[in-house]
């Protein structure tokens, strides 16, 4: 049936349309670019239909069956979508915005396995919705209400969830690597087997989380404009942030230092990031809790030294790589003499210039080990255990036994 005939049939009402669909389940439906604004389409069967570029603004799609449909670029601004089923639909570049309290009302909508890339869902109401396995990569969900939503197995890599409300949401098995959860509300949220690697979690509110089996590596706990601090485990991240900002708490947690290893250096480039990740993993394998302070950020020297001093004070050992961070040893010079119980293992790439002179400033301290010089990152990676971690560990034990 041609598009014009399909539109004529649709004008006869939802019941007539659905009856025809029952008799022609395999009919090729193509209503691309159709203008259906304010149409009453509650309960309509649009399953598998091609609806690209359609105008559904302010239409009634209550309980509509849109499974496996292609709605790319369509306008659903202000549409009533409660209980609609978008399972496996293509929703890329769809406009869901509205003029109401929330930018889009998708409460209790079924978006299972839907493709939502390039969709703006900032301040959207997705409470109770089904987003199981949905593609939400890099989607803007700032301030969205996801209370009770099911996002299990969803792809949320790089998603913007700043200020989102995830109370009671199910994110089991979801991939949130690199997502920004700053300021998000996480109350009884289920992160079982989820991937949270590299998430930004500054300012989150979290209680009663299920983190069983979750990957919680390299969580960023500092806001923009401050030195980048990354740690493993969400609970540890919150504690470290409190330590950085609350002196009273700092004074009562000396016992946690037994397994904390601080890594400092410039990790701005992908190559340096890879090196940092391998170093972290090597420390984890030695039962350490690695904390990384990235010195490449452009923040005040005083603030950087303050953060460095606080983190060093709760660590068992420090691994300091001054490659591409010539100022680092000058900053260490101001804190190392004050921390005689914490060994420092310096790393220096042979190709780097003017590092050895800076080393002499702190090498008079007996708890500063001989620097490990390496030609390439591969050399450093091959010697992580024998030349970097083990010497620092032995020095820490020596200091502890002596004290």
* Rounded-to-integer distance, Cα 155 and Cα 175, Å: 5
Question: Ramachandran region of residue 91, left (φ > 0), alpha (ψ -120 to 50) or beta?
Answer: alpha
Of 98 and 52, the one with more pLDDT: 52
pLDDT of residue 246: 61
- Measured CA to CA, the distance from residue 178 to residue 264 in angstroms comes to 21
What pLDDT, on a 0 to 100 scale, did the predictor assign at position 238?
Answer: 74
Residue 361's pLDDT is: 66
CA dihedral 369, 374, 379, 380 (to 10 degrees): 40
pTM of the model: 0.73
pLDDT band at 236 (very low <50, low <70, confident <90, very high): confident
Q: Answer whether residue 34 shows pLDDT above 90.
A: yes
Q: What is the mean pLDDT of residues 297-308?
A: 77
Q: Which domains does the chain have, with CATH numbers?
A: 228-402 (3.40.50.2300)
Task: Say which residue, 361 or 216, is predicted with more confidence.
Answer: 216
| Per-residue pLDDT band at 101 (split at 50, 70, 90) | very low
Query: Residue 309 and residue 80: Cα distance in Å, rounded?
Result: 55
Residue 110 pLDDT grade (very low, low, confident, very high; cuts 50, 70, 90) = very high
Query: Which of 17-21, 112-116, 230-234 shows the lowest per-residue confidence on average (mean pLDDT)?
Result: 230-234
Indicate whether 271 pLDDT > 80: yes
pLDDT of residue 250: 54
Contact 198, 178 (CB under 8 A): yes
User: For residue 323, is pLDDT > 90?
Assistant: no
pLDDT above 80: residue 98: no
Alpha helices in 261-374 (DSSP H): 270-285, 301-313, 328-335, 356-359
- Nearest CA to 227 out of 159, 311, 353 is that of 311
The vertex-194 CA angle with 193 and 198, nearest 5°, equals 135
Q: Which of 223, 150, 212 is nearest to 183 (CA)?
A: 223
d(C-alpha 310, C-alpha 306), whole Å: 6
For residue 251, the model assigns a pLDDT of 53
pLDDT (average), residues 76-92 = 93
Please provide the distance, in angstroms rounded to a whole number, between the alpha carbons at the two ends of the chain. Answer: 88
Instruction: Tell which residue, 142, 144, 194, 199, has the closest CA to residue 167.
Output: 144
Residue 252 pLDDT exceeds 60: no
350 against 179, higher pLDDT: 179
Average pLDDT over residues 378-400: 89
The tens digit of pLDDT for each residue in 326-375 reads 677 778 888 888 889 899 998 888 765 444 555 666 777 889 998 888 88
> In sequence order, which ranges of 253-389 are alpha helices (DSSP H)?
270-285, 301-313, 328-335, 356-359, 377-382
Q: How confident is the model at residue 289 (pLDDT cuts 50, 70, 90)?
A: confident
Cβ-based neighbours of 338, under 8 Å, separated by 6 or more:
309
Lowest-confidence pick of 11-20, 46-55, 347-356 = 347-356
Q: Band of the pLDDT at 55, cuts 50, 70, 90? A: very high
Is residue 182 exposed (0-12), middle (13-18) or buried (19+ Cβ within 10 Å)? buried
CB atoms within 10 A of CB 305: 16
Q: Is the pLDDT of residue 249 over 70?
A: no
Residue range 130-178, pLDDT digits in tens: 999 999 999 999 999 999 999 999 999 999 999 999 999 999 999 999 9
- Give 2 or 19, the one with higher predicted confidence: 19
How confident is the prediction for the chain on average, in pLDDT?
Answer: 88
Is the pLDDT at 21 greater than 80? The verdict is yes
pLDDT band at 255 (very low <50, low <70, confident <90, very high): very low
Nearest to 276 by CA among 291, 259, 260, 289: 291
């Amino acid at each position: 049936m041609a598009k014009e005939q399909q539109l004529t049939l649709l004008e006869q009402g939802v019941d007539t349309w659905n009856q025809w669909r029952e008799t022609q389940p395999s009919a090729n439906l193509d209503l691309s670019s159709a203008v259906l604004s304010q149409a009453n389409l509650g309960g309509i069967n649009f399953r598998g239909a091609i609806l690209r570029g359609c105008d559904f603004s302010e239409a009634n799609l209550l309980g509509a069956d849109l499974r496996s449909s292609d709605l790319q670029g369509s306008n659903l601004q202000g549409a009533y979508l409660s209980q609609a089923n978008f399972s496996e639909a293509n929703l890329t570049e769809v406009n869901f915005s509205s003029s109401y309290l929330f930018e889009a009302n998708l409460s209790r909508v079924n978006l299972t396995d839907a493709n939502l890339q390039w969709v703006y869902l900032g301040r959207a109401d997705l409470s109770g919705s089904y987003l199981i396995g949905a593609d939400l990569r890099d989607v803007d969900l700032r301030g969205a209400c996801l209370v009770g939503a099911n996002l299990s197995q969803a792809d949320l890599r790089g998603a913007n969830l700043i200020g989102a409300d995830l109370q009671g949401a199910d994110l089991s098995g979801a991939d949130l690597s690199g997502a920004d959860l700053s300021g998000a509300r996480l109350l009884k949220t289920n992160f079982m087997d989820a991937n949270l690697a590299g998430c930004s979690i500054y300012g989150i509110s979290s209680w009663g989380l299920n983190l069983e089996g979750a990957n919680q590596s390299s969580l960023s706990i500092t806001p923009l404009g401050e030195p980048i601090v990354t740690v493993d485990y969400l609970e540890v991240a919150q504690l470290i942030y409190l330590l950085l900002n609350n002196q009273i708490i700092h004074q009562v947690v000396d016992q946690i230092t037994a397994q904390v290893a601080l890594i400092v250096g410039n990790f701005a480039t992908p190559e340096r990031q890879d090196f940092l990740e391998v170093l972290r993993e090597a420390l984890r394998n030695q039962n350490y809790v690695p904390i990384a302070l990235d010195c490449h950020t452009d923040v005040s020297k005083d603030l950087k030294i303050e953060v460095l001093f606080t983190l060093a004070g709760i660590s068992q050992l420090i691994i300091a790589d001054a490659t591409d961070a010539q100022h680092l040893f000058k900053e260490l010079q101001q804190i190392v003499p004050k921390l005689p119980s914490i060994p420092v293992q310096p790393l220096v790439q042979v190709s780097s210039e003017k590092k050895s002179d800076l080393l002499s400033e702190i090498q008079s301290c007996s708890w500063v080990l001989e620097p490990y010089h390496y030609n390439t990152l591969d050399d450093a990676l091959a010697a992580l255990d024998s030349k970097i971690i083990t010497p620092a560990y032995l020095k820490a034990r020596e200091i502890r036994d002596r004290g």
